[in-house]
């Protein structure tokens, strides 16, 4: 079965209590359960992870390349400045795997510093602004692209 790593960066472990007016009331566990259900429906095998640690998420991107897993990535604040994450994300897409950047909120409609994504240019595509549904749309995009290419 096609594997997808659903990787979440810093502070996303605080979903549910962190600025619910921006990020909603669902917790990371709710997100993982929703991802599980959506991916099953789409014929994907997804695994949701979260870390506050840049080196850990870089390592997970290396793992995606080595184990041939596609990636749905919410880099959180790393989106805006982490060249290490960008370089790791580039290894995913240049190895022929899909990487969809996702955001719960729409960073383009928020503070100026959030308007820059250093990851976007090395991603297959981006989904932002739909809350938890951003992840459903991203998984659907992965399944759709793979079906199209098959
Ligand atoms: C976020 C947007 C980022 O700007 C922010 O730093 C996050 C979450 C989102 O999902 O909307 O932590 O990636």
What's the 40 CA to ligand 1 centre distance in angstroms?
Answer: 26
Single out the residue of 128, 124, 108 nearest to residue 116, CA to CA.
108
What's the 128 CA to ligand 1 centre distance in angstroms?
Answer: 9
Average pLDDT per run of 10 along the chain, which is 150 residues long?
Answer: 97 95 94 98 98 98 98 98 98 98 98 98 98 98 93
Q: What is the pLDDT of residue 44?
A: 98
Q: What is the pLDDT of residue 23?
A: 93
Out of 23, 70, 83, 115, the active site residue is 23
Strands 2-8 and 70-74: parallel
Tell me which of 16, 74, 78 to substitute to probe ligand 1's pocket, judged by most ligand atoms within 8 Å of the beta carbon. 74
CA distance linking residue 110 with residue 55, whole number of Å: 27
Give the position, in ligand 1's atom list, of the atom nearest the Cα of 23: 11
Q: What is the pLDDT of residue 150?
A: 80
The CATH number of domain 2-149, selected from 3.40.50.2300, 2.30.30.30, 3.40.50.9100, 3.20.20.450:
3.40.50.9100
- And the tokens for 128? 């932002």
Q: What is the pLDDT of residue 149?
A: 87
Single out the residue of 85, 32, 83, 81 nearest to residue 59, CA to CA.
85
Which one-letter DSSP state was computed for residue 17?
Answer: T
Q: How many helices (H) and strands (E) does the chain have?
A: 5, 5
Contact 10, 80 (CB under 8 A): no
Catalytic residue list contains 103? yes
What's the 78 CA to ligand 1 centre distance in angstroms?
Answer: 9
Single out the residue of 124, 73, 74 nearest to residue 97, CA to CA.
124
Q: Which helix (H) or strand (E) holds 56?
A: helix 54-67
Q: What is the pLDDT of residue 39?
A: 98
Contact 72, 142 (CB under 8 A): yes
Q: 93: how many CB neighbours lie within 10 A of its CB?
A: 17
């Amino acid at each position: 079965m096609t594997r997808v790593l659903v990787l979440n960066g810093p502070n996303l472990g605080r979903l549910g209590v962190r600025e619910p007016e921006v990020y909603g009331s669902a917790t990371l566990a709710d997100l993982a359960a929703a991802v599980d259900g959506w991916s099953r429906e789409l014929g994907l095998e997804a695994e949701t992870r979260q870390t506050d640690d840049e080196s850990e998420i870089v390592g997970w991107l290396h793992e995606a390349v080595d184990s041939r897993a596609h990636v749905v990535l919410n880099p959180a604040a790393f989106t805006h400045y982490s060249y290490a994450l960008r370089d790791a994300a580039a290894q995913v897409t240049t190895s022929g795997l899909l990487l969809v950047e996702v955001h719960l909120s729409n960073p383009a409609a928020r503070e100026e510093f959030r308007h820059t994504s250093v990851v976007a240019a090395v991603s297959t595509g981006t989904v932002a602004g739909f809350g938890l549904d951003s992840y459903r749309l991203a998984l659907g995009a992965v399944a759709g692209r793979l079906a199209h290419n098959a």
